[in-house]
Amino acid sequence: MTALNVALVTPLAGPDATQGLASVRGLTLWARDEYLPPPWTEISVTAYDAYPDPAAAMRSAVAARPAAIIGPYGRRAALAAASATDRVVFNAGAPTTRFMRQTYPKVINIAAPSSTWPRQVLTLVRSVDRTARKAVLLLAVGDFAIEATASTKAAARSLGFEVTTSTFGPGQAAIAASRLPTADVLIVHGDPDDELTAANALLRRPWKAAAFSTAVSVQGAATFGDSSDGLLAPGSWLPDSMAETTTGPNAWAFTADFSALHGTPPTATAAWTFVAGLILGACIRRSGSADDTAVLAAARGLDTTTLLGRFRLDETTGLQVGHQIPIVQWQSGTSWTVWPRDGARARFAHPRWQARTANPGLTPRPYR
């Protein structure tokens, strides 16, 4: 028997231990079900604790000479781990534009950068409204704000939107919100308290569409009260999707298999890590080798569909451009996936004040 040895560098202790465990569980399911060509007859997964020192964990993993390495959950941990090696690393837990090919040429990005969700909102609005012209972004100061501003403004040019961006520091959300100009689309990203403060000041205004990053969960939306109807928010994946795939099971089957094996439903982190395994397997079958150079070349040329949607890396940047972050909308107390179009569970209610009467008679299939 010949085992394909795979290293998973991820936090197993500390504040992100829950996410690390989800990664382990996702990769364990993949290892159980994956089929590889000879000479491999099984897959062995070894986890290395990225807490508190992800770079040391990566060095330990590399020293064991695994066939492949899956990187950790968390932006800082992933950046530190990837910087500690010249091996190919599958980025399964830190969807950020920092992992561009020019800086990290050996990183394979599994999911779209999280900072691209505002551009998905603009794409959604433009799909039903040709008259909307102005959008405003209210973003907490930090790396996300820098990435989201660049990504959204680039998309806005092609979509015909004029974008104004405002950033705020701790405790400054109310002041920043009061200074926002009038626009058709409002997009807010910050921590829950800041977003609620901004919502109290902004949702009285007649935005055609309004999106808040923390409104995705039932708990998050509840803090907005009656104002939650019509709000948009970024999802992460569609666990009940039965959309066809070309690599691996669909999301519905994965959710069922994961739940049966581990006794708990999968999180987005588990799904991302499972898909990292699927892409690794596809690259090995495509190239006939588990060598880093062969796997990297295969990944760069791969165009396939997994339970996350399309997988395709940008030829220039190496960022994931096939996968699209789902957008959900709250309608009459239920969240519905409304974008991308092929994963939509309900019609997008636009303008947002139509949400209370949208999609009558449909059986709720809420985003989880």
CATH of residue 160's domain is 3.40.50.2300
- Among 82-91, 247-256, 352-361, which is the least confidently predicted range? 352-361
pTM above 0.85, yes or no: yes
User: Which pLDDT tens digit goes with each residue over 284-306?
Assistant: 999 999 999 999 999 999 999 99
With beta carbons less than 8 A apart as the criterion, state whether 70 and 8 touch.
Answer: yes
Identify the H or E element spanning 174.
helix 173-178
With beta carbons less than 8 A apart as the criterion, state whether 87 and 64 touch.
Answer: no
Q: Which residue range(s) make up the domain with 160?
A: 115-234+326-357
User: Which pLDDT tens digit goes with each residue over 96-121?
Assistant: 999 999 999 999 999 999 999 999 99
d(CA 263, CA 358): 36
The average pLDDT across 207-233 equals 87
**Predicted local distance difference test score (pLDDT) of residue 368:** 41
The CA–CA distances, whole Å, from 39 to 1, 36, 46, 294 equal: 8, 8, 20, 16
d(CA 184, CA 8): 44
Same domain, 205 and 331: yes
**Predicted local distance difference test score (pLDDT) of residue 257:** 98
**Predicted local distance difference test score (pLDDT) of residue 367:** 39
pLDDT at 208 over 80: yes
The average pLDDT across 188-200 equals 95
DSSP codes joined into one string, 293-361 = HHHHHHHHT-EEEETTEEEEB-TTT--B-S----EEEEETTEEEEEESGGG-SS---SSGGGGGGSSTT
**Predicted local distance difference test score (pLDDT) of residue 364:** 43
Same domain, 127 and 104: no
Q: Is 200 exposed, middle or buried (0-12, 13-18, 19+ CB in 10 A)?
A: middle
Same domain, 120 and 223: yes
**Predicted local distance difference test score (pLDDT) of residue 359:** 58
Residue 143: strand, helix, or coil: helix
Phi, psi at 91, each rounded to 5°: -85, 95
Beta bridge partners of 91: 109
d(CA 273, CA 28): 10
**Beta pairing, strands 162-168 & 68-70:** unpaired
d(CA 334, CA 328): 10
User: Which pLDDT tens digit goes with each residue over 227-284?
Assistant: 889 999 999 888 988 999 999 999 999 999 999 999 999 999 999 999 999 999 999 9
d(CA 10, CA 54): 8
pLDDT at 139 over 60: yes
pLDDT grade for 224, boundaries at 50, 70 and 90? confident
Residue 317 counted as domain residue: no
d(CA 209, CA 302): 35
Same domain, 299 and 335: no
pLDDT at 365 over 50: no
Q: What percent of the chain has pLDDT over 70?
A: 97
d(CA 168, CA 174): 9
**Predicted local distance difference test score (pLDDT) of residue 260:** 98
pLDDT grade for 358, boundaries at 50, 70 and 90? low
Same domain, 340 and 226: yes
**Predicted local distance difference test score (pLDDT) of residue 355:** 84
Same domain, 193 and 246: no
Packing angle of the helix pair 143-159, 117-128 (nearest 10 deg): 20
Last residue of a domain, one of 312, 334, 349: 312
Cβ within 8 Å of residue 180, ≥6 positions away? 136, 138, 164, 166, 186, 202
**Beta pairing, strands 89-91 & 334-339:** unpaired
User: Which pLDDT tens digit goes with each residue over 30-41?
Assistant: 999 999 999 999
Same domain, 334 and 205: yes
d(CA 82, CA 73): 12
Residue 20: strand, helix, or coil: helix
Residue 44: strand, helix, or coil: strand
Same domain, 221 and 119: yes
**Predicted local distance difference test score (pLDDT) of residue 216:** 81
pLDDT grade for 222, boundaries at 50, 70 and 90? confident
What residue ranges in 158-291 does DSSP mark as E strands? 162-168, 185-189, 209-212, 232-234
Identify the H or E element spanning 88.
none
Phi, psi at 169, each rounded to 5°: -95, -175
Total tally of structural domains belonging to the chain: 2
Residue 247 counted as domain residue: yes
With beta carbons less than 8 A apart as the criterion, state whether 320 and 113 touch.
Answer: yes
Beta bridge partners of 29: none
User: Which pLDDT tens digit goes with each residue over 168-192?
Assistant: 999 999 999 999 999 999 999 999 9
**Predicted local distance difference test score (pLDDT) of residue 250:** 97
pLDDT at 351 over 70: yes
Identify the H or E element spanning 10.
strand 3-10
The average pLDDT across 311-335 equals 94
Same domain, 229 and 80: no
pLDDT at 226 over 80: no
d(CA 313, CA 321): 6
Same domain, 129 and 90: no
